[in-house]
Amino acid sequence: MGKLFKEFFLTRIIFLLQWFIFLTCSKEYKGKKVDEKPCVILFWHGRLALMPFAFRHFRFKNKRAYVMISLHKDGEKIARIISFYGLHSIRGSTFKGARTVLKSAFKVLDQNDDIVITPDGPRGPFHSISDGAILIAQKKNVKIRILNYETNRFWKFSSWDQMILPKPFSKIIYRLSDPLDISDLSKSQAKIFLKKEFEKIYNMDSFKVY
């Protein structure tokens, strides 16, 4: 009971902290919202902290987003927290439970909902593109969209993903790319292409003075 209460308390404290920071910040959203067509949405693991709010803005009507989350105990916390924002989850990764998670991802896309993946998660390498993200998009012939946020003031953690958490009263720019087609690319070509698209978005919105 004590452990369950601690987990319950911790997830709600994080949820409230996210909202406090978000509400004090000025926000700007760039890019078109998702449409009725299913897609794979990618963002770096290091931008996880305030990413749930992006889906509140970019979502399409009653269309659902399913976030691929690892089976690690930290993944359970993340799954609980994002559920408070109306986001769904698929548990597993291309490292563990790959077959099950791929089948679940295909099913989500077949029902015209979106799959959300941190392609360098759950354990890196930093800013790498996983095979799974490419496999899912190509197997179901859907477009990829890249999601990102940058902020002018933040805390940077010493974790492998170099996660940033915007400071209260900072400015946050959220951006969702146009749909990207990788259907005719090899796996290695797709990784190079997507990495360049991530860098392009960063260069568009990065703040030059911190």
Mean pLDDT computed over 148-163: 96
Residues of the chain with pLDDT > 90, as a percent, come to 80
Of 15-24, 33-42, 119-128, 173-182, the least confident: 119-128
Q: Is the pLDDT of residue 50 over 70?
A: yes
* DSSP, res 62: T
Report the predicted TM-score, pTM, of the whole model to 2 decimal places: 0.94
pLDDT at residue 174, as a whole number: 98
Over residues 66-91, the mean pLDDT reads: 91
Q: What is the pLDDT of residue 26?
A: 97
Where are the alpha helices (H) located in 111-186, listed in sequence order? 131-139
Q: Is 168 in a helix, a strand, or coil?
A: coil
150 vs 99, higher pLDDT: 150
Could you identify the residue written with the tokens 């593109």?
A: 129
Q: Is the pLDDT of residue 208 over 60?
A: no
For the chain, the first-to-last Cα distance in angstroms comes to 44
192 pLDDT higher than 50? yes
Average pLDDT for the chain: 92
pLDDT at 42: 98
The least confident of 67-81, 106-120, 148-162, 190-204 is 67-81
What token pair was written down for 109?
């896309």
- Average pLDDT, stretch 38-42? 98
Look at residue 94 in the predicted model and tell me its pLDDT: 62
Per CATH, the homologous superfamily of domain 28-148+175-205 is Tetrapyrrole methylase, N-terminal domain (3.40.1010.10)
Crossing angle for the helix pair 131-139 and 187-205, nearest 10 degrees? 110
Span 167-194, average pLDDT = 97
Mean pLDDT of 67-85: 89
Beta strands 154-156 and 164-166 are antiparallel
